[in-house]
Amino acid sequence: MSVTVAPWTRAQVAERAARSLREGMVVNLGIGMPTLVADYVPVDLGVIFHSENGVLGVGPAPAPGDGDPQLINASKDAITVLPGASYFHQADSFALIRGGHIDVAIMGAFQVSCGGDLANWSAGEDRIPAVGGAMDLAVGAKTVIAMLTHVTSASEPKLVEKCTLPLTASGVVRRVYTDLMVADVRDGVFIVREMQDGMTLESLQAVTAAPVRLGDGEGSWE
């Protein structure tokens, strides 16, 4: 199941995810590619980024070499903070998550099913599992978005009818951003809102192990 077009870069995927955020949203950015999203959201938009290690008000990444080594996110990446940002104990951070105060969680994933099931804490028996705060975010956030490459390094689809990896949570993912498409997860189908130039629905289906269908424009997961 090889991909025949050049996939979007990580930055291009993050920029597309950033477009979906709205003023006043409190957004958690998961480990890995999701942390790039903050770089593509205008500061004056008023989106409030949360990091589960206890920061509210995360800004864009600092220039290389300019970061404070004591100011990091949950990925241990250097961050900046915006005026009005706050720091607090990790227990309070998880109280925000478990209390339903996070509007959107943008999370990495190993697999996502067309029913919205999320598998992102274990990649198999030969890999070290690490659930971290993913289980809390998956059920505590009002909306869950997944960001991932469309296929594995072995060209196996990550978007599937049924996850074969251990689940983090079932039925929670509302939208997926991959390096080939943007799609809503609805009624057992990936509804495609955008796809990489050069892709057709047929070529996209060939690398997706679940039904895909064209949607109308950008659409909304809200």
Instruction: Identify whether 125 is a catalytic site residue.
Output: no
Give a yes or no: residue 22 inside a domain.
Answer: yes
Residue 19 has pLDDT above 90, yes or no: yes
CB within 8 Å of 91: residues ≥ 6 apart: none
From the candidates 52, 125, 156, 202, give the one annotated as an active-site residue: 52
**Residues 24-63: pLDDT tens digits?**
999 999 988 999 999 999 989 999 999 999 999 999 989 8
5 — pLDDT class (breaks 50, 70, 90): confident
Residue 135 included in any domain = yes
Beta bridge partners of 170: none
Residue 205 lies in a domain: no
Compute the distance between CA of residue 99 and CA of residue 93 in angstroms, rounded to an integer.
Answer: 10
pLDDT, mean over the chain: 92
Q: Decide if 142 is inside a domain.
A: yes
Residue 89 lies in a domain: yes
CATH number assigned to the domain comprising residue 76: 3.40.1080.10
Overall domain count for the chain: 1
Residue 162 lies in a domain: no
pLDDT at 219: 57
Q: Is residue 161 part of a domain?
A: no
Give the model's pLDDT for residue 151.
Answer: 97
Mean pLDDT, residues 187-198 taken together: 95
Each residue's pLDDT tens digit, 95-140: 999 999 999 999 999 999 999 999 999 887 666 767 788 999 999 9
pLDDT tens-digit map of 128-187: 767 788 999 999 999 999 999 999 999 999 999 999 999 999 999 999 999 999 999 999
The Cα-based distances of 205 to 32, 169, 180, 181 in angstroms read: 26, 25, 11, 11
Decide if pLDDT at 80 tops 70. yes
- Report pLDDT for 216: 72
In a domain, 94, yes or no: yes
- Tell me, what's the pLDDT at 131? 75
Q: For residue 137, give its domain range.
A: 10-107+123-156+170-181
**Confidence at residue 222, expressed as pLDDT on a 0 to 100 scale:** 54
